[in-house]
Amino acid sequence: MRRAFAKQVGHTGHRQGPSRADIVDDSAGVVYKIRADGDGQGGALVKVDVDAGAGRSNLALGGFILGGFSLGITAFGALLAPLIMWAGITLGVVGAAALFLAAARLSQGRKRAELIVAQALVEAEEAPALSGPPRALRPG
């Protein structure tokens, strides 16, 4: 399973125990959380969650920083000079547009991540069985 993700994403991630692994996809802003459990017949039931929490957290942090900074410059400019106030307003508008574009990119990354999950599951299902001990996620 991890090989199929490595082929799609470009790296294999890291284990989180005997039957779990996390693969971070920075370009899409998501983390693939893979879990494998035995099915009782020598196979594995695999569950893959796509977590975009880190990307959403970065957007929230950027929004708070941008809002506070542009509000501070606008307030400072209102006290001293209109030019500084308009610079603060412009910074807020340009920053809000940048945050909107980043949110759209995160949404597209999540959709792309779900397509990668589907493709990796199909590839793992169609792949020949490994000979010898399993090197990816063992059913646990």
User: Tokens 């695999």 identify what position?
Assistant: 46
Residues in the chain: 140
Q: Is the pLDDT of residue 140 over 70?
A: no
What is the pLDDT, as a whole number, of residue 119? 83
What is the pLDDT, as a whole number, of residue 110? 86
The set of residues, in sequence order, having a beta carbon less than 8 Å from that of 116 and lying 6+ positions away, is: 5, 8, 9, 25, 28, 32
Counting residues of the chain whose pLDDT is more than 90, the rounded percentage is 20
Q: Which residues pair with 36 in a beta bridge?
A: 46
For residues 113 and 129, the model is more confident at: 113
For residues 31 and 100, the model is more confident at: 100
Q: Tokens standing for 92?
A: 């807020």
The contacts found for 101-105 with CB under 8 angstroms, 24 or more apart, are 102/59, 102/62, 103/59, 105/29
